[in-house]
Structure 1
Amino acid sequence: MTQAPATPPSTPPTTPPGPRPARRSRLVPAGLVALSLVPVVAGTLRLSELSGLALVGPDVLPDDTHLAAAPLVVHIVGASVYTVLGAFQFGGRRPPARHRLMGRILLPCGLAAALSGLWLTVFYPRRPVDVELLTVLRIGFGSAMAAALLLGLAAVLRRDHRAHRAWMTRGYALGLGAGSQAVIVSLWAAVAGQPAGNTRALLLGAGWAVNLAVAEWLIRRRRARRAVSA
Structure 2
Amino acid sequence: MIRFFSRPAPLVLALAFCTFIPVLTALVQVFQIPSGTYPEDSARLAVAPMSWFAHVLAGAAFGITGPVQFVRALRHRFGALHRVSGRIFVLSGAILGLSGLSLLAQVTSQRTPLVDIARGLFGLALLIALTLAMAAIRDRDFLRHRAWAIRAYAIGMGLGAVALVFFPIYIITGQPPIGLASDILFVASWALTIVFAEVVIRHSSYSPPRVPT
Same fold (TM over 0.5): yes
Q: 2:84 matched to 1:101? A: yes
- Partners in 1 of 2:113 and 2:102 — Cα distance? 16
Q: Which segment is superposed worse, 208-217 or 143-152? A: 208-217
Matched-pair contact (CA < 8 Å) for 1:78–1:112? yes
Q: CA deviation at 1:97?
A: 2.6
CA distance in 1, matches of 2:93, 2:13: 19
The one of 52, 66, 69 equivalent to 1:89 is: 69
Q: Is 1:212 the counterpart of 2:194 in the alignment?
A: yes
What is the alpha-carbon distance in structure 2 between the residues aligned to residue 28 and residue 219 of structure 1? 11
Contact 1:141/1:208 (<8 A) preserved: no
Between the aligned partners of 1:220 and 1:133, the Cα distance in structure 2 is 29
1:125 and 2:84 aligned: no
Query: For residues 126 and 105 of structure 1, what CA distance do their matches in structure 2 show?
Result: 30
> Paired residues, what number?
198
Q: Unmatched 5+ residue regions in structure 2? A: 208-213
Point out where structure 1 has 5 or more consecutive residues left out of the alignment. Answer: 1-17
Aligned AA (2:117): V
- Counterpart in the other structure of 1:75: 55
- Between the two structures, name the one with larger relative contact order (CA 8 Å, sep ≥ 6): 2
Any runs of at least 4 consecutive aligned residues in structure 1 with deviations exceeding 4 A, and if so which?
187-191
Pairwise CA RMSD? 2.8
| Higher radius of gyration, 1 or 2 | 1
Shift in Å at residue 188 of structure 1?
Answer: 6.5
Structure with bigger helix share is 2
- Identity within the alignment, %: 27
- When normalised by structure 2's length, the TM-score is 0.80
Residue matched to 2:154: 173
Which residue, out of 162, 176, 179, partners 1:197?
Answer: 179
* Other structure's SS at 2:204 match: helix
* CA 108–57 in structure 1, closer or farther in 2 if over 3 Å, else same: closer
TM-score, structure 1 normalization: 0.75
Residues 50-79 of structure 1 show CA distances to partners (whole Å, capped at 9, x for unaligned) of 22262x652xx4322553111111110111
Check conservation: 2:93, 2:156, Cα contact below 8 A: yes
What amino acid maps onto 2:83 in structure 1? Answer: R
Partner residue, 2:163: 182
| Displacement after TM superposition at 1:125 (Å) | 3.3
